[in-house]
A and B are shown apart, each in its own frame.
Chain A
């Protein structure tokens, strides 16, 4: 699905879920919103912050913030940017030094089975895909943070340029500039 179509689908989905928060299906709708918020915090922590040990803190924060505020946000368009802003703040503010504690979450490079529905996987193809993914993630995490943040929101998550500008707090022109430079850095890193 193209990113713009995905954005529209997300907005419809959020509109639907937010609309259900006062009805009979409220618990299910809230559960989906909470899982979405945590999933986003997880991806953000690993791709932007690059620290698995911080992911749990960020996910917990995203969970609580979403639970607390979701009922008050009735505009689906606003909810989407609110969620990303909340997760961004949770991830960037929750940096803690946990030198003595092992990370409890699996990293994206872990051996745990990915949650992907579909046909029977081909082990050889899976190995190649996993290797490519590892290389890409390693290159992505080496991007300077301002570029990494914009590339994550725009290319990984599919936010529009305007939404990224709102979430990050920079101009649309600046978003574009950082995005293009990030892509070039990634391309160069993957070619080397």
Chain B
């Protein structure tokens, strides 16, 4: 990875860090990324913000299923299975 700037003016973009998060880079490129991160506050912040987005995505829907909806699903499933016997 070419260093394109540091601190407040670093222009390594968020797409780059999203690709890094997804493991799209070779190990050599990952090492370059890590060296850059060690040097650049702004990119560490970008990466942290992206991680938050990914973590929020992973947790949001599964945690929010109302118990009454789940109970209604079970009831419907049982009724369908019972009706077909």
In A151-166, the 8 Å CB interface with B consists of 151, 155-158, 161
**B67, CB-defined interface residue at 8 Å:** yes
In B6-29, the 8 Å CB interface with A consists of 14-15, 18-19, 22, 24
Are the CB atoms of B18 and A183 closer together than 8 Å? Answer: yes
Are the CB atoms of A183 and B78 closer together than 8 Å? Answer: no
Range, interface on chain A: 35 or more
**A124, CB-defined interface residue at 8 Å:** no
Q: Which stretch (A11-19, A77-85, A90-98, A113-121) binds chain B?
A: A113-121
Are the CB atoms of B77 and A30 closer together than 8 Å? Answer: yes
Are the CB atoms of A180 and B19 closer together than 8 Å? Answer: yes
**A69, CB-defined interface residue at 8 Å:** no
Contacts of B22 in A (CB 8 A): 161, 176, 179-180
**A59, CB-defined interface residue at 8 Å:** yes
Chain A: minimal CB distance from B49 (Å): 5
Are the CB atoms of B56 and A132 closer together than 8 Å? Answer: yes
In B39-69, the 8 Å CB interface with A consists of 49-50, 52-54, 56-58, 60-69
**A170, CB-defined interface residue at 8 Å:** no
A-B contact sample (7 more), CB < 8 A, given A30-B81, A67-B84, A183-B18? A31-B77, A42-B65, A115-B65, A158-B58, A179-B22, A180-B15, A183-B53
Residues of B within 8 A of A (CB): 14-15, 18-19, 22, 24, 49-50, 52-54, 56-58, 60-70, 73-74, 76-78, 80-81, 84-85
